[in-house]
Structure 1
Amino acid sequence: MAERNGRTVRDLRRANRTAVLQRLYFDGPLSRFELGPVTGLSSGSVSNVVADLVADGLLEEAGSVDSDGGRPRTLLRVAPASGHMIGVDVGETRVRVELFDLTLTELARAERPLEQRRYEVEGIVGHIRDGIAQVLDAAGIAPERLLGVGIGVPGIVERGPEHGAVVHGQTIGWDAVPLEELLRAGSPLPESVPYFIDNGAKTLGQAEMWFGGGRGAHNACVVLFGSGVGACLVTPDVENGRAVEWGHLTVRVRGRRCRCGALGCLEAYAGAEALLDRWREEGGEPPSGADEETALTAMLAAAYPADGAEADPVALAVLEETAEYLGAGLSDLINLFQPERILIGGWAGLQLGTRFLPAVRRHATAYALRHPAEKVTVELGRLGPDAVTVGAAILPLADFFSRGGRRPEPLPVGPAPAWRTALEERAPH
């Protein structure tokens, strides 16, 4: 039966379950009495929803608190073992796979290094499959208990009914790679476990907005600063965030060639790969054979020596110029989207850290329009190097919440009903 606004009773029940689950997830433990005001539900509705969720094993008791002159009130919380998710970060130097319980406590992890930034599709697919099998085995979790697998990738992700999620990763040589379809072929997971594939900057943004420096903001930009750079925009119109290819904004006409092939992209100046290349070109000497993270650490040590030794002027000049390019790039985000907050994450952003941040803020303010620049704060992300993986795991968790804590219904097996067959036969071909 549908209401006047088109919502059915089933829709209403699902929305009520979602409201209770989310409030307990973010603000719990809470009593039934406290759930009413924060969800907007009546006491009767709260009691019915809680009973339903307890029967499904999604909620559990978490002690009690005294009430004003009455019986103690039982506290409720989300049961950690009632669901599990896997998050995958296809990064610049490694593929990281982590298994989480419903409260995003890490249960197991696996890492597969990428030799010389090799992004062969078959190799990446194999790393993801092997990592999933490894973490499930380490934690003793049956595959069918998973709510889903979230995967953060570099590039633009499109979805279609035929191939699922398709990745266009120009900077890594991926041209319309049907990643979801490839993962399904020979997957250790049953068909009932969904894959959620999205841009790595978006998964970083999702994590920071749920648990990090973005909590409470209605309009924010979360920047992923790694080998390359990207960003996620979160506004009231785009609550779950939208990845923007910020790294391929042109900052210098006929400038350096970016790894995407174009000239003058921000990523050609502000990404860690380009930063280290510019240091080498100016005479810097990163450790021989070192990966990017180790080389950037060496560059920072040369520019800002801890023992009072003389700083390497070349490393210092390149870093200062990079801060200006990054600040100029942030000014475009400020002018275009007028965010309350900008958060800088990613392994390179976190390595550069607080020493780098004041210069970036100064340049962002100088290049941006005064009014929106006065309203924005620019800070480091708070979730550390695992933020992309955590954000990837949030993708199936958010879907689970949107369903009111119910798993996707299995596809029907067997012949289609007679009425559907009749309609299909009558449809024009």
Structure 2
Amino acid sequence: MAKKASVRDVRRRNRALILRHVWLNGPTSRSEVGAATGLSAATVTNVMNELLAEGTVREEGFLDSDGGRRRAIVSVAHDAALVIGADVGETQIGVDVLDLGLNRLAGRVYPFKGRRIEVGEARTAIADQVTSMLAELGVDAARVVGLGLGVPGIVEEDRQVVHAEVVGWHGVDFSGFGDHLGIPAYIDNGAKSTTQAEAWFGAARDTDHAVMVLIGEGAGAGIITDGRLYRGSSSSAGEWGHTKISLDGPHCRCGRAGCVETFVGASAVLSQWRGPDETWLGRETEGVDAVLTAWRDGDPAAQRAIDGLVRHLGLALSNLVNLYNPEKIIVGGWFGDRIAAELLGDLQAAVRAFALDQPGGEVVLVRSQLGPEAAVLGAATLPISQLIESGAGVERLTTA
């Protein structure tokens, strides 16, 4: 028998519903909030008055209604507090300071091309960048509601422990990561947080069922089902890059063979083009530009490499279509974005050729709308999600 919700639980839920609507759909009116959430006018008014008093939202003006009564327009108070987004990518760590509207106020990049980054170095780099940017902005850490960190690998959601075989992070404990900065930290897999950003602000907005694939050196995915990020039983859902499309395929960084990323990752395509003996370590973006230029110029080796990419990526995407039946597949990541710019039509045709007719004929492939900023923006959604789901106001989080 389900436990009866307390008055406090109901109040928190109502605040969360209203905050979510204002955040994702504002500027908006109280009547629109009520219609979207199903809450009574009295409840919406009471909660909205609390949020206004706390400084989490503000009135932006008025609109005339059909009945002649003007409606107040409410939006999130963007300048009420700050959030930080940090993403540990394949070649760099990006760190941004943003306002509550996720407008970028300052940003730093810490490059580590051509090598793995150790956990200690990553921690120090992020902390140093955060400290430097807050000082530059003249902002105290107390104004920051949270730091979101996107990392490679599987993140145990309840313990903030990271398992990332491909970068040599085995059971790394990130709990308390932001304590020495005086900022609460929220950690998730980078593909998942990027997908969340795309669902809030990008190509998956207003889409109940979608898959976002991120392709660089490796490959990963985020899954949206019934409008929510799907995590799986232990938060490992989306490790699409390490599903198999060949039993005797190339060796993978994870220690296995035949993984999707060994066919569709940037290095795999460059290897198909110029052979395995030529190294592109630290020059991957240069190599991708070169192979695409050669492909456009009709170079036979480049055409074989790109044809192989389309075939294998189409096959791997068709498996996602058959498994999850998404309305959309969003293609992103630094290499995926370049692929989508050139090859989206070819990939759509390949998916339809490999997938079952019904889901394959309905799914639409689209390019990420958020581009290179998606990963750091996605990380910044982590503290925002916490603020929304907890029903807390800015004042409560920044003075906790």
Q: What TM-score, normalized by structure 1, do the two folds share?
A: 0.86
TM-aligned CA deviation for residue 122 of structure 1: 1.7
Within the candidate set 220, 223, 228, 1:230 is matched to 220
* C-alpha RMSD over aligned residues: 2.2
Letter in 2 for 1:158: E
Question: What is the aligned-residue identity percentage?
Answer: 40
Q: Distance in 2 between matches of 1:97 and 1:265?
A: 30
TM-aligned CA deviation for residue 42 of structure 1: 2.0
Q: Distance in 2 between matches of 1:352 and 1:25?
A: 32
Within the candidate set 147, 164, 175, 1:180 is matched to 175
Within the candidate set 239, 255, 269, 2:228 is matched to 239
Residues 1:251 and 2:245 aligned together: yes
Sort the Cα spacing of 1:337 and 1:34 in 2 relative to 1 into closer, same or farther, 3 A: closer
Q: Distance in 1 between matches of 2:248 and 2:222?
A: 27
Deviating more after overlay: 140-149 vs 86-95: 140-149
Letter in 1 for 2:191: A
Aligned to 2:99: 101
Kindly report which structure 2 residues correspond to 1:343-382, keeping only aligned pairs within 5 A, or say none. Answer: 343-382=330-369
Letter in 2 for 1:140: G
TM-aligned CA deviation for residue 148 of structure 1: 1.2
Structure ID, larger Rg: 1
Kindly report which structure 2 residues correspond to 1:261-300, keeping only aligned pairs within 5 A, or say none. Answer: 261-281=255-275, 291-300=283-292
Aligned to 1:424: none
Is the contact made by 2:214 and 2:333 (CA closer than 8 Å) also made in structure 1?
yes
Residues 1:315 and 2:302 aligned together: yes
Residues 1:386 and 2:373 aligned together: yes
Within the candidate set 4, 7, 16, 1:6 is matched to 4
Kindly report which structure 2 residues correspond to 1:398-417, keeping only aligned pairs within 5 A, or say none. Answer: 398-406=385-393, 407=396
Give the match's secondary structure for 1:240: strand
Residues 1:194 and 2:178 aligned together: no
Is the contact made by 1:324 and 1:359 (CA closer than 8 Å) also made in structure 2?
no
Question: How big is each residue's C-alpha offset from its partner over 1:11-68, in whole Å with a ceiling of 9 and x where there is no partner?
Answer: 2222222222222222222233333222222222222111111110111121112233
Q: Distance in 1 between matches of 2:316 and 2:180?
A: 42
Is the contact made by 1:89 and 1:96 (CA closer than 8 Å) also made in structure 2?
yes
Letter in 1 for 2:181: L
Deviating more after overlay: 64-73 vs 242-251: 64-73
Letter in 2 for 1:210: W
Sort the Cα spacing of 1:159 and 1:32 in 2 relative to 1 into closer, same or farther, 3 A: closer
Question: How big is each residue's C-alpha offset from its partner over 1:156-183, in whole Å with a ceiling of 9 and x where there is no partner?
Answer: 11245xxx412111111221122335x3
Within the candidate set 49, 66, 69, 1:68 is matched to 66
Residues 1:204 and 2:194 aligned together: yes
TM-aligned CA deviation for residue 106 of structure 1: 0.9
Letter in 2 for 1:300: L
Q: Distance in 2 between matches of 1:303 and 1:247?
A: 25
Letter in 2 for 1:399: Q
Aligned to 1:147: 145
Aligned to 2:209: 219
Q: Distance in 1 between matches of 2:349 and 2:114?
A: 35
Deviating more after overlay: 14-23 vs 87-96: 14-23
Q: Distance in 1 between matches of 2:230 and 2:145?
A: 21
Letter in 1 for 2:303: L
Q: Distance in 1 between matches of 2:245 and 2:68?
A: 66
Q: How many residues align?
A: 392
Give the match's secondary structure for 2:205: coil
Sort the Cα spacing of 1:289 and 1:260 in 2 relative to 1 into closer, same or farther, 3 A: closer
Unmatched 5+ stretches in structure 1: 306-310, 412-429
The answer to which structure, 1 or 2, has the higher relative contact order (CA under 8 A, 6+ apart) is 2
TM-aligned CA deviation for residue 83 of structure 1: 2.5
Letter in 2 for 1:274: A
Is the contact made by 1:144 and 1:189 (CA closer than 8 Å) also made in structure 2?
no
